[in-house]
Amino acid sequence: MSQNQIKKPIGKRIRNWAIVLIVIAIYVWAFAGAPSIALKDSAIQALKAIFHGFLHPDWDYIYDPAGEDLLRTLLETLAIAVLGTFISAILCVPFAFWAARNMTKHRTLSSLGKIVLSCIRVFPELIMALLFIKSVGLGPFAGILALGFHSIGMLGKLFGESIENTEFTAREALIASGANKLQVLWFAIIPEIMPAFMSYTLYRFEISVRSATILGIVGAGGIGAPLIFALNGHSWDRVGIILYGIIIMVTIIDLISAAIRKRLV
């Protein structure tokens, strides 16, 4: 074995240990300057109350014929996610074709489309909800508009990349046979990209369900409003049943969506 072959492993070990020591030194320096953390008696009592509420949730809140209950608010949250995703899945299609590089000969146009999509999705759903609340008032309609507008940017980007990565062999054949642009779009492009579009829409719907659960915190409808009211009122048993409901709903939707996407792809 030559000396160069011996030196390489030694040098690699020294470099790896130097990186580990530097990371440890950074952590030590960071925690050394942190203030001391001590739990007060009130904090310990609050933690006990939280765990007690989670272990003994408010089962009566699941269904209440006389007023607001868990099932109604979860259904409203699901409706916000469905409508927001449906709106964005339709409105984002022109933006996706605009941003796809293989749909135009001018790269400047596709680059401009990508910039527009980036500008749309730069605003989080909560910020969009606050803006739409000022326009249309409190309620689920503001949440639908917020989710729909934000999802246009996300789905438009995914759809555009899907169009760019697709090889349209049937498109060239139809063009050679004399088909017009509408016929090429309908018979060659859409059948090729539709499975990917459906898969991305379902994936975005999963994310929208999670986002819709917090829109109610700012007054945009859904389960977020009773959740923030329960948190402010320290009603930990109600917080527990609401979180359990959110977990069950999101898990069921994820399982169904994953099963459908496996059949599409």
What confidence tens digit (pLDDT) does each residue in 17-34 have?
A: 888 899 998 888 877 766
231-263 burial: b if 16+ Cβ within 10 Å, else e: eeeebbbbbbbbbebbeebeeebeeebeeebee
The mean pLDDT of 50-63, rounded to a whole number, is 85
pLDDT confidence of residue 265: 62
Is the pLDDT assigned to residue 2 strictly greater than 60? no
Residue 54 pLDDT class (50, 70, 90 cuts): confident
Overall residue count recorded for the chain in this entry:
265
6 has a pLDDT exceeding 60: no
Phi, psi of 28 (to 5 degrees): -65, -45
Q: List, for residues 94-153, the tens digit of each pLDDT value.
A: 888 888 887 777 788 888 888 888 888 888 888 888 888 888 888 888 889 999 888 898
pLDDT value of residue 225: 85
Task: Give the model confidence (pLDDT) of 232-262 as tens digits.
Answer: 888 888 888 999 999 999 899 888 888 887 8
Nearest to 95 by CA among 39, 15, 153, 21: 153
Nearest to 239 by CA among 229, 250, 247: 229
What pLDDT digit, counting tens, does each position of 157-178 carry?
888 888 877 776 666 666 667 7
Q: What's the pTM? A: 0.76
- Render pLDDT for 210-231 as a digit per residue (tens, 0 to 9): 888 888 888 888 888 888 888 8
Contact (Cβ atoms closer than 8 angstroms) between residue 129 and residue 142: yes
Q: What pLDDT score does 232 carry?
A: 87
d(CA 216, CA 222): 5
Greater confidence, 263 or 92? 92
Higher pLDDT, 45 or 82: 82
